[in-house]
Structure formats: structure tokens, C-alpha cells
Structure 1
Amino acid sequence: MPMPSVPQHPPVPGERRTQEQRRTATRAALLDAAAELVVESGVRAVTLARVGERAGYSRGIVTHHFGSKQALLDALAKTSQGGFVPGVGELPPGLDRLLVLIEGYVRELGRDGVSGRAFLLLWAEAATAAELSASFRERDEAFRADLREDVAAGIADGTVRADADPRDVAVSVLGQLRGIGLQRLLDPDAVDARRLGRAIGDQWCRALSA
């Protein structure tokens, strides 16, 4: 059996953590455990009891933090995509941010992180699982909104073609990125993430540049 997840930032020996720090560490460990179960056995294998056991806690602790399996999966979907491309949130909206996001997203897919793989598996499952669909529609719309903002900002500053439709670009980019991620899950050797990220970034730069 895999070892239980541990917080990413263990305390310094002798240092006493606050109650909030302990709560944050416990929540992170539970989400790590849930991601591992999704990747290993699929969404249906995730139960509050199994998540608690994997993380080294009781089911009661999982219930205390999340309340239900759906709330746990919602939290996993949110945290696994937050900050997926390091540094992109610090850039102003526009073509440059869009290209950094596209290349960085594909590059991160190549790292095969457990949380990223879990997100893609949950996203695919959301097409037929009612308990997941609302959360993932919300996550996808937030992603598309950011992409639309980048295209609109590029049009405004003259770096993006005036006839580019932000809505169409957003749907196309999101579909491409998610599709590459699913291909990577099915056949990792078929996707050279670093090379592909640069190639796709170049494609969108040529397609959108004014």
C-alpha cells in the first residue's frame, strides 16, 4: 500500500504549528490522498473513508473538512488547477500572457504531477457524472474568461488581429489544451510536452498576431 500523503512543508523540528497551520496541512494531505486515489483507481474509488485512511486520518476528519464526497471533489478540482502555470497570474492580460499560458500549460502536463492527472480524469468523468458536471463547467468557464480577456486586451493594444473573436479563441484553446492532456494520460510517449508547447505557442502567435 502506498505511504500516506504528507504536507508539502513539514514544520521545522521543535517548531510548534498554529491551529490554522495544522488545519491547512491536514486539508492538503486529504486532497493529496484523494488525488492519488483518483489516479490509481478512478473517481468511483474515492470515498471519505478511503481518503482518510490513505492520508492517515479518520473518516470523521475528512467529513469535518469537506462534508461530502462531492465537496471534496469540488475542492480537488479547484486546487489542482490553481496556479497550474507558475507566474502567469502576475502577467497583465494580453497576447504575451496567452502565449505564456499555452506553452506553460503543455509543459506542466509533461511533469505528470498527480494533482494535474487527477484533474484531467475528473474533467473527463464530468461529462457523464452529474455530481461533477456543475463544478467543472464553472472551472472551464473561468478558464475561458481568462482567455477571452487576453484576446480582448490584445485587440485593444493592437497586438492581436481586430477580427479575432475572443469567444471562439477561448473555446479552441481550452479544447486543445484539455485534449492534449487526455492524450498524455492515455499515451505519454506520444506527447513531447516541451517541444509541443513551443510549437503550439508559435501556432497561436502566428494565428493571432496583428
Structure 2
Amino acid sequence: MTTAPRTQKQRREEAEAALLTAAAELVDEQGVRALTLAGVGERAGYSRGLATHHFGSKQALVERLARSAQAGFVPGLEGLPPGLDRLLRLIDGYIGGLGRMGVLNRVFLKLWAESATASELTQLFRERNEAFHADLYEDLVAGIADGTIHPGVAPDETAIAVVAQLRGIGMQRLIDPSRVDTERLRTHVTELWRRGLASAPTPVRGQD
């Protein structure tokens, strides 16, 4: 049997996938500041100019890499209605995924950390944080509406706290993987949020 020749679209997709893989490996090894389009092309086994042809600029490549690294980190959530169950599954799945951290996961966390001081990354990760926050906010509002989350829970502040906790656990796992037992931690953290969101929040002093 003969193999059908690849289409131009297939060749382009394969080249882009190889370039993104190469970019991820270079960022993982050297950091984003050392990343160059020419270096990505060479690492992927192509010409020095192919990454420029596909992405146009280093900024565009890094943005694509960040989105690719974040997409699909917690599988199995598609089709689930927003609410407490989806929120808890996201928390559990996120921490569980950190236990299987691959290159793309490490790269996303490294880029996120660098965004605090690298101006070219700040807006991108502000947008990534907002997208994550919006998903959590939707779950919290839905849970309050259906009665599974206490009505006194503040969706905005709670979503910020969840993002901070999950990303913080990720950074700890990145820096000291032997210290973070994700299989034990995922159960503990998920149960803490289950209980905390279902019960009445502690009043803040000075408020009625």
C-alpha cells in the first residue's frame, strides 16, 4: 500500500507543532529571554527562518505557546454544566495534573512567573488569568444560584483565591517536586473548598 501524500495544511500543522515543541524545550531549558525565532527553527530541524514565517514575531510565538500550554490542562470538563461540581473537578484535576507535569506545563508556569517582570508577557498573562478567573466565577455564580454554594460567598474574591492557590501549588511543585505529594494534596484541597463553599463564611469584623 502507498501512503497518500500529505496536504499543504497537514505539512503546515506538523511544522507548527514541531516549532512549538522546540520553543517549549528552549524556554524550559534557558528561559524566555534567551528564546529566538532562529533558534526555534534550528531546534525543530528546519531552517532558521521558518519560525518567523509561521509566527511572524517572538511575541506571537510566545503567546501561541502559552495558550497551547494552558489548553486542555484539566480534561473531562467539556460539557459539564457550570456549578460546584465542575469547580471541584477543576481543582482536583488541576492539582492531579501537576503530578504529571510535562514540558508544556513547566513552561506555562515559568512564563507566568516571568510575566511579573517581563513587560512583553504581562498583558498576555493578565488575559490568561482573566480567562481562568471567568471560568471559576461562572461556576461560583451557578453554584450560588442552585443552592450548592452558600449565598454569602463572594464569587470574584473566591475566584481570585482559587487561581492564586492552584498557581502557587504549581510553582511549589516546579521548584521542589519531592515536597508536593499531588495525590494526597488534591483530595485535601478539594475537600477544603467543598466544605468552605457550602458553609456560611466567617463574617469580616466591622461588617454586619
Q: Which amino acid aligns with 1:118?
A: V
Pick aligned residue for 2:64 from 63, 66, 75: 75
CA-based RMSD of the aligned residues comes to 1.3
Aligned-pair distance for 1:99?
0.4
Aligned-pair distance for 1:17?
2.0
Aligned twin of 2:30: 41
Aligned twin of 1:27: 16
Taking the aligned partners of 1:71 and 1:31, their CA distance within structure 2 comes to 11
Taking the aligned partners of 1:13 and 1:173, their CA distance within structure 2 comes to 53
Check the 8 A contact 1:83/1:89 in 2, yes or no.
no
Q: Which amino acid aligns with 2:184?
A: R
Aligned-pair distance for 1:44?
1.5
Aligned-pair distance for 1:43?
1.1
117-126 or 49-58: bigger deviation:
49-58
Give the share of equivalent positions with the same residue, in percent: 61
Aligned twin of 1:94: 83
Check the 8 A contact 1:144/1:171 in 2, yes or no.
yes
Q: Does 1:108 align with 2:118?
A: no
Pick aligned residue for 1:127 from 116, 119, 124: 116
Aligned twin of 1:146: 135
Give the structure-2-normalised TM-score. Answer: 0.92
Aligned twin of 1:209: 198
Taking the aligned partners of 2:84 and 2:7, their CA distance within structure 1 comes to 43
- 1:108–1:15 CA distance, 2 compared to 1 (3 A): farther
Taking the aligned partners of 1:135 and 1:95, their CA distance within structure 2 comes to 28
Aligned-pair distance for 1:90?
2.4
Aligned twin of 1:53: 42
Point out 4+ residue stretches in structure 1 off by more than 6 angstroms.
none
Aligned-pair distance for 1:15?
3.5
Unmatched tracts of structure 2, length 5 or more: 200-208
Give the structure-1-normalised TM-score. Answer: 0.92
* 2:6 counterpart SS class: coil
Aligned-pair distance for 1:46?
0.8
Aligned-pair distance for 1:65?
1.0
Structure number with bigger Rg: 2
Q: Does 1:188 align with 2:156?
A: no
Matched length: 199
- 1:54–1:196 CA distance, 2 compared to 1 (3 A): same
* 1:112 counterpart SS class: coil
Aligned-pair distance for 1:89?
2.5
Aligned-pair distance for 1:13?
7.6
Taking the aligned partners of 1:112 and 1:146, their CA distance within structure 2 comes to 22
Unmatched tracts of structure 1, length 5 or more: 1-11
- 1:57–1:103 CA distance, 2 compared to 1 (3 A): same
83-92 or 63-72: bigger deviation:
83-92
